[in-house]
Amino acid sequence: MRPELPDIHDIWVYLSGSPLLALILTLAAYHFGVLVYERTRLNPLANPVLIAVTLIAITITLIDMPYDRYFEGAQFVHFLLGTATVSLAVPIYKGLASLRGRMLPLGAALVGGGVTSVVTAVGIARLLGANETVVGGMYAKSLTAPIAMGVAERIGASPTVTAVFTVTTGILGAALARYVLDAVRCREWWQRGYAIGVASHGIGTSRAFSVHPEAGTYAGLAMGLHGILGAIAIPWILSMLR
C-alpha cells in the first residue's frame, strides 16, 4: 500500500516556517541579480544587490513572512559580512606598492569624502525636519555595514536604521557613480575606484572589482581606510560636540 502523500498546503506551512527558506531565497535572489547584471553587460543600473533586495522585499511581503523570521534564516549571510570586511586586507596589501606618490591626494580625498558624506546627509536630514532616529542613522551611512552598525551603537543611534541607509547608499553609489565620474571627467581607474570606495563601501567596491582590477583594489583600500577613520572619528567628534 502506497503511503499517503502530505498535502501541498502542509508542505508550504512547514517550509514557510523554516529558516532554510529565507537562506535559499536570499541566495537565489542574488544569483538571479548576478545573471541579470551579466546579461546587461555589467550595466550599473542592473546592480545585483538592488535586484536581490527588491525581489526579497516583494517575496516576503507576498508570503507574509515577518522580517524577524526572514533574518533568522538569512543571518548566516549577515555573519559573513564581517569576514568579507576583514578579507579586504588582501587587496589593500597587494595595492600598497602603488601608493607611492599618491598618499597626499588619497588622504585628502579620504578626509574630504568622509566629512562630506556626514555633513551633507545629516544637514539635509535636519533641514527637512527628520527626527533624531533618522538623523542618527545618517552619520555612518557611508561606512561598510558591519562597521556602520557598530558605530551606530556607540553613538546611541539605531543599528537597523543605519543598516538601511548604508545599504541604500551602497546601491545608489554602485548604480550612479559611473555617470557622476564620467560627468566630472575622472578617467583614471585608481581615482574612480577610490572615489566609489569612500562613498559606497562594499557594494560600490564589488562594482569596481567587476569593472577593473585596479579600480577594485583602490575601492577596497578606500573602504577599509574610511571604515577605520569613521569608526574612530565619528564617535569621538560627536562626544565632543555633545
For the stretch 42-71, pLDDT in tens is 888 888 988 999 999 999 899 888 888 888
For 159-216, the pLDDT digits (tens) are: 889 988 998 999 999 989 999 999 999 999 999 999 999 999 888 888 898 889 889 8
**Can you give the pTM of this predicted structure?**
0.80
Instruction: Give the span between the Cα atoms of 151 and 201, in whole angstroms.
Output: 15
pLDDT number for residue 12? 47
Instruction: Show Cβ contacts of residue 196 under 8 Å, excluding neighbours closer than 6 positions.
Output: 173, 174, 177, 181, 204, 205, 207, 208, 215, 219, 222
Q: Cell for 49?
A: 544587490
Nearest to 159 by CA among 33, 71, 241: 71
Instruction: Show Cβ contacts of residue 179 under 8 Å, excluding neighbours closer than 6 positions.
Output: 44
Instruction: Give the span between the Cα atoms of 175 and 153, in whole angstroms.
Output: 29
Q: What is the mean pLDDT of the chain?
A: 85
pLDDT number for residue 18? 64
